[in-house]
Amino acid sequence: MNLRKLIIAVLLLAGIAAFFALDLGRYFSLAFLKESQASFTALFNQRPVMVALVFFAVYVAVTALSLPGAAIMTLAGGASFGLVWGTVVVSFASTVGATLAMLVARYLLRDAIQARFGPRLDEVNKGIEKEGAFYLFSLRLIPVVPFFALNLLMGLTRIKTWTYFWVSQLGMFAGTVAYVNAGTQIAKIDSLQSILSPGLIGSFVLLGLLPLAVNKALGFFKRRKVYARWNAVRPARFDRNLVVIGAGAGGLVSAYIAAVVKAKVTLVEAHKMGGDCLNYGCVPSKALIRSAKLAHQMQHGANYGLTDSTPSFSFKAVMQRVHDVISAIAPHDSVERYTGLGVEVLQGHARIVNPWTVEIALNGGGTQLLTTRSIVIAAGARPVVPPLPGLADVGYVTSDTLWDAFAQLDEVPKRLVVLGGGPIGCELAQAFARLGVQVTQVEMAPRLMGREDEEVSELAREALAADGVQVLTGHKALRCEKPGGVKTLVVEHQGVEKRVEFDQLICAVGRVARLTGYGLEELGIPTQRTVPTNDYLQTIYPNIYAAGDVAGPYQFTHVAAHQAWYAAVNALFGEFRLFKADYAVIPWTTFIDPEVARVGLNELEAKEKGVAYEVTKYGIDDLDRAIADSEARGFVKVLTVPGKDTILGATIVGTHAGDLLAEYVLAMRHGLGLNKILSTIHTYPTLSEANKYAAGEWKRAHQPRRLLEWVRKYHDWKRG
């Protein structure tokens, strides 16, 4: 802090200290207000301008210094100046004081706070940028946010001073009127009976109902504004309570919930029921991974006291098994099942015509127009195909198309390039390598699985390399060529070009939400990366919701299903209560071998967010069951609040890590700490004991050493 800031801070602290040291707070009490009301009113009648100016200055000082007393002074303004002039004086004094407090906080604290807690302020700054004045206006109306705290908090943001002034003036005006009016009534109190006067009771009822009423009014005007151009086409009656677009995890759960509560719901799917997870993602990839793991175990039979053997298999049979698994699970998501549950299922492409009307181009021909009270968009995501020169000429598959394309092959590709070092790329690279494919994995970033801790990335690299994958991190794909008919990927690493020959190439560089073709642009709903939603999963139209990959921020099947509950319940019952989507405890797993599973924070994120933490780590190579299974590798790493057993996050690397993670998900969801896990009986010998032993490691690190020393002395004494 420079000298000027230091001087100002010292003066402010001196003023606050003097306020409390001299007990000036006694002048800001209801008792003092009653005692001095008559003399103050008389003085005001003699010198109204001077009294008003002094009152104004004192009010500004109290507010600017965030001292207690503003509420009493507001009542005093009503008692002394009356409703009209009291409102004028108090309204401007409170706004000037609030603005000064904001500017002081900005000058003294913003740089230091931004440097230390920048990421935590990002959400507030995003709110200011997105909603602007409305964001501040809403905060001014929330009773649980003290005005002085809001002044200091907003000083840490990038809001403009003039915007802060006029929005504060407007936002506090209704509350000021209510308090000043209460002051005019308090001035008349002279007995117990007068306390119960209708005017005074009405004033305090107004104080209690004001925030609710204004918030309702804000919501009404906001809705009116966004629906203004559609009022002429709003139906008087609706064909459906809910129309759901997309039959992936988010859409299926939304439709299911609506059917269970007896709403009339239509589910629209243009392609395959079950969406990406069933047909292209979770299900087929796990089926392939299981076949590849068995092939790997056969190749390493000596690990189990058997003989190493080269698996003999038909690649067509392997891919047929993948499709058989899809077919076996498909009835869970089928048209027949959901029709039986009471959902109308239409197969076709949906387009939102207006906020209450959906047009469906049916796959069998023709169109159908449905009016609906609410809509849930759950259209899923598609693979990203990078704009790589020559890529289309050499040909490629994605995580969506490879299942059908590879099912046509008589044998595994001899040479395979996997573009992308994220979870999908790692899973596919390892699986195909275990089936005998020469796999080269290309990742532009310096390490695989960049969202995980560095030690996790290194373990993943080692595991893939051990299975024969050539991992090229820090390599940027430049172009594809076909010299002499040989498919070639040209990559660049540290300024040097390298050529990688291949027979097949898989693009696994990420997925992007499907947002085009649904009429969103025409409605004015932004479609840059995902559909922007509020905490309740509402788009800019309160009756249109989004869930799953189209809403983000996570691209997981289980998160899509989780969001779908909120979207469906809010869509059907939002007029009574809206539920905020809860992302506090989100688990995920990358199904390489060993698996990588995580919930909550890892060290990388904790450092980025400035969250203090302790690390407890248990090596699975010490676990009896893992040793017996010849799976003794990996670890359990838990982040906790310093000095406490409160779990901030857990990362597990090892066999069945995704299953083991469930215990930490449950603990975090219900506020259970490591002591609870330690005191829970875990069956011996099981992999789940790793969680108990990790908790034991934490306990050993937090032993009450001084107490134990006294216990030792006690036992020594007992022995004589």
**pLDDT tens-digit series, residues 466-512:** 999 999 999 999 999 999 999 999 999 999 999 999 999 999 999 99
Report the C-alpha dihedral over residues 258, 259, 263, 264, rounded to 10 degrees: 110
Share of the chain above pLDDT 70, in %: 84
Topology alike, domains 391-506 and 594-705 = no
DSSP assignment letter at 417: E
pLDDT at site 191 = 41
DSSP E strands in 222-377: the ranges are 240-245, 265-269, 344-354, 357-362, 367-377
Question: What's the token pair of residue 48?
Answer: 């109204």
pTM of the model: 0.77
Matching residue, tokens 């960049």: 450
Structural domain spans, the chain: 3-224, 240-383+513-573, 391-506, 594-705
Q: Is 83 helix (H, G, I), strand (E, B) or coil?
A: helix
Residues 335, 352: Cα–Cα separation, whole Å = 22
Check: CB of residue 589 under 8 Å from CB of residue 661.
yes
- How far lies 236's CA from each of 109, 231, 372, 373, 550, in Å? 54, 11, 11, 10, 30
Q: What percent of the chain has a predicted confidence (pLDDT) above 90?
A: 65
Strands 504-507 and 344-354: unpaired
Distance of CA 293 to CAs 400, 448, 591, Å? 22, 21, 11
Residue among 322, 254, 252 nearest 287 (CA): 322
Question: In this predicted model, what pLDDT tens digit does every residue of 343-373 receive, in sequence order?
Answer: 999 999 999 999 999 999 999 999 999 999 9
DSSP state of 145: S
CA 299 from chain center: how many Å? Answer: 43
Fold of the 594-705 domain: Enolase-like; domain 1 (3.30.390)
How far apart are the two ends of the chain, measured CA to CA in Å? 62
Residue for token pair 């904001």? 102
At a CB cut-off of 8 Å and minimum separation 6, what does 78 contact?
86, 87, 90, 179, 180, 181, 182, 183, 184, 185, 186, 187
Q: Is the pLDDT of residue 683 over 70?
A: yes
| Burial zone of 613 (CB within 10 Å; 0-12 exposed, 13-18 middle, 19+ buried) | middle
Output the six-digit token pair for 145: 């946010």
CA 505 to chain centre: 33
What average pLDDT does range 83-89 have in this prediction?
82
Q: Which residue has the tokens 């913003």?
A: 110
pLDDT computed for residue 103 by the predictor: 83
Round to whole Å and give the CA distance between 333 and 664: 29
Q: What is the pLDDT of residues 31-80, one digit of tens each?
A: 666 666 667 667 777 777 787 788 888 878 878 777 776 767 777 777 77
Domain 391-506: top CATH class: alpha beta
Task: Please name the CATH architecture into which domain 240-383+513-573 falls.
Answer: 3-Layer(bba) Sandwich (3.50)
